[in-house]
Every structure is written in C-alpha cells, then in structure tokens.
Amino acid sequence: MRYLPKSPSDREAMLADIGAKSIDDLFATVPAEYRLTRDLNVPRQHGEQEVIEHFKAFAEKNALGYASFLGAGAYRHYRPVLIDTVVSRGEFLTSYTPYQPEIAQGTLQALFEFQTMICELTGMEISNASMYDGSTGAAEAVMMAVRVTGRNGAVVARTVHPEYREVLTTYAQHQSIPKTEVDYDPATGRVDLAKLDAAITDDTACVLIQSPNFFGTIEDVAAIAEIAHKKGALLIVSIAEAISLGIVKPPVEADIVAMEAQSFGVPVGYGGPYCGVIACKEKFLRQMPGRLAGETKDLDGKRGFVLTLSTREQHIRREKATSNICTNQSLVALMVTVFLTVYGKGLKDLAEQNLAKAHYAAQTIGGSGKVLFGGAPRFNEFVLQGSKTAEAANAALLEKKIVGGLPLERFYPELGPNTSLWCATELTTRAQIDAAAEVLK
C-alpha cells in the first residue's frame, strides 16, 4: 500500500524487537469471537490515476456547465487563486489545532487576523476562531444568550434561513428553550415589528434575525434592536451572505452576530465545509463558545499568539463548558482570511457589483412576473412570483442549461407554488440573466 512507509522486513524486525511472534499477538486483547476474519466489503484498492478517474465520473453526473441562480445560504463567488495556493501548503493543511503555540504561530497569527477582520466587518468587539457553520453558529449564539441573560426563550424571525431554524429547534429542545417564530410583513419581507414586540416576554433571552434575510431583504436592525433591548432581550443577527458586509451597514446594534463566512472564498461544495463564526460585545466574552486566538508575549518579550480563555471549553470545564465544540473549521477560516486580505477595502467594490447584477436580474427576470417585497432594500437576492409554477419554470430553464431560483413553497407554503428565490453575484453574466429572462418571458 503506497501510503505505508514500511517494508516487510521492517515489520518483521519491529515485531522481533517487541517480542511478538506475529501481528496477531498484538491483537490478543480482542476476544476471538469479535475478530473480523474476512475482507472488508469496500471498493478494491485503486491506483492514483484510477482514484482520479473514479471521481471525475462522479463529477460528471452533476450539473456541469450550467448557469445557476441559486443562493439561499450557499453563494457562488469568485475565489482568488491565492486561496488554494495558501491552504494547499502542507504547513497549514496538515497541522493540528495549535496546542503548541511555539510551533503553530502561522495558524495562530492567521486566526488572530481572521478574528480582527470579522470584528471590523461586523462591528462587533470580539470574534471567535470559527464555528462549524452558520446554522450551528446561530444555535450556539442562542444558547449563549440564554446563559448571559439567565432568561430562557428565543424569539426567531421566520425570515431566518429555514434550515438554520430547524437546527436551532434541534439544539433548543433539550435545553428547554421555548422558541417563538415571528412573521414577516408581506409588503417588505422584513420582520413584522408589531408582532415582534408582542412576542417578546420577560423571559425572552434573545431575538434572532437574519440580515440580509432569507428573502435577500435587509432588515431594520436598529429598530429591531430597540424593541429587543427595551424588554431586556439580546439581539442576535445572523448573516448568511457575508459579501453584503462590503456595502451594507454592519449590525452594530446587535449584541451577538452569528455569521456564515462561506461567501468569503469558500466553495459552495454541496453545502460544506463552510465557516461559521460568532462575534459579540466584549462583555459576553466568558460565555463565548469555541476557540479564541489571543495576543501575548514570549519569555523574551516577543509578540506571539496562543489559544486563550480555554477555561470556557470542554477539555477544562467538561459538562460545564460553554459548548462541546472542539475541532472547528480552522482551514476554512484561513481561506476566508486570504480572501479578505486579497479584497481588503475592495470588498466594497465587489459588493457593489453584486448589487448591480442582482438589480439588473430583478428588473430583467422580474419582467416575467412580480418581484415581491419591493418595500425594502435588497442585496443580491430577490423573490420572484412567476406566472407559472416555479417547478415548471425551472424545468424549462434546465433545458437551456440554467438552474433557476429556489422554489419557496417548501419553506413558505403561504407564498404558493409560483414563487422562487433568485440570486445573482459577480459571477452571473448579463448574457445568463438575459437568457433566463428570455425563457421565462
């Protein structure tokens, strides 16, 4: 086997050194009745070239060469070449969690840079070094708010990504955190503020919203924060389309931001790995889940970085930890860091292109029906109510090698079968938009 660096004579010599007659001696503690005496039923051993061919065959059975208008929490953006150049370096790719800071400064400094950029973009004071993804990050943020406030309930906007809400339900149920959902205003697609106000009680730990929300609409974060804070609840803002932060005001009124940073240079990759992250006000530091990289000095006074405040974490606190998370998404956070370094302040230009493409797409494709929720600003997504069902429209589009918007009835039955969620990014071309509009005309 080509990954195994031993010759048969090495193995024999080592067994002799150990004083074992055969390798089976080393498995003697396994009761005989449990030893597997047959080959595993897995594919036979493949050569490297065969492995590649195998996966090329898988890849060809997927959408290849299609134009896509799908977003909905997984966004296609251009990935600068430098990202893979950097993360392919074995020193980053094949290192462990930086428990030995003296020989992990590369990872640690990059994480510190990541945390800084996330703070800067979100308007929060501190950030952790990543969570699994946006959905689990939002759920962990809610549990964090419960610990901070000593209150119990969560009020959640229905405009938060439906799959994030499902994950929250799974997490919240055994923490006895009652979850109330608040509807949106049908004119704007934003949280209905009056209903929100009514839903918050003295026991509400937090309000969870998403902005831009699942419909692509930008929420009135300041107004929502005022309502939440007036009743002593924290405001958690989830962000699924991180590129929006280049042109949309950061949710500085929030107490906690739980975001998905996938848009920052991470492939859509059939849903993962992505990069969740929690950022918040510094006063909530002790309740923050996950790893934190912090600055310090070595014995000679030189600046360096370490994982810090680990008394919050499972390996010290065990069942009293702020979360059970251990391995997070470090290499993906590095992808994000490289992406954000390449664009830097230019994130604004990139976000503006997204705005322009989506605006053009909404005008052009919107001509085939009605763009809903016109009463509020949008980023790079819009909801289209077509003249035929979204399924029928998408079937016609597929014939022209176009993947249309995401049909919404599955998540929002009240919107009916004709609505779908469309996304246009800097990768979407005018020709693709025009072609889609032509099919739908």
Ligand X SMILES: Cc1ncc(COP(=O)(O)O)c(C=O)c1O
List of residues contacting ligand X (CB under 6 A)? 326-327
* Residue 230 binds which entry of another protein, ligand X, none, CB below 5-8 Å type-dependent: none
* Residue 80 binds which entry of another protein, ligand X, none, CB below 5-8 Å type-dependent: another protein
Nearest to 133 by CA among 303, 297, 277: 277
Smallest distance from another protein to CB 126, Å: 5
6 vs 198 by CB, closer to another protein: 6
125 vs 198 by CB, closer to another protein: 125
- Do the Cβ atoms of 168 and 156 come closer than 8 Å? yes
328 vs 428 by CB, closer to ligand X: 328
219 vs 313 by CB, closer to ligand X: 313
Distances (CA, A) of 29 to 12, 24, 32, 33, 35: 21, 10, 9, 11, 10
Give the whole-angstrom CA distance, residue 254 versus residue 410: 30
* Residue 86 binds which entry of ligand X, another protein, none, CB below 5-8 Å type-dependent: another protein
The DSSP secondary-structure symbol of 45 reads P
Give the whole-angstrom CA distance, residue 233 versus residue 236: 10
Smallest distance from another protein to CB 52, Å: 6
Give the whole-angstrom CA distance, residue 123 versus residue 256: 10
- Could you give the maximum distance between any two Cα atoms of the chain, in Å? 80
172 vs 207 by CB, closer to another protein: 172
* Residue 236 binds which entry of ligand X, another protein, none, CB below 5-8 Å type-dependent: none
Helical (H) or strand (E) element with 109: helix 105-122
* Residue 429 binds which entry of another protein, ligand X, none, CB below 5-8 Å type-dependent: another protein
Per the omega criterion (within 30 degrees of 0), is the bond before 43 cis? no
Smallest distance from another protein to CB 181, Å: 15
- Do the Cβ atoms of 199 and 233 come closer than 8 Å? no
Smallest distance from another protein to CB 320, Å: 7
Smallest distance from ligand X to CB 395, Å: 41
- Do the Cβ atoms of 299 and 143 come closer than 8 Å? no
Tokens read off for 44: 């036979």
Smallest distance from another protein to CB 13, Å: 7
* Residue 96 binds which entry of another protein, ligand X, none, CB below 5-8 Å type-dependent: another protein
Smallest distance from ligand X to CB 126, Å: 23
* Residue 32 binds which entry of ligand X, another protein, none, CB below 5-8 Å type-dependent: none
152 vs 310 by CB, closer to another protein: 310
326 vs 395 by CB, closer to ligand X: 326
Distances (CA, A) of 1 to 5, 23, 160: 9, 17, 49
Euclidean distance between the first and the last CA atom of the chain, given in angstroms as a whole number: 58
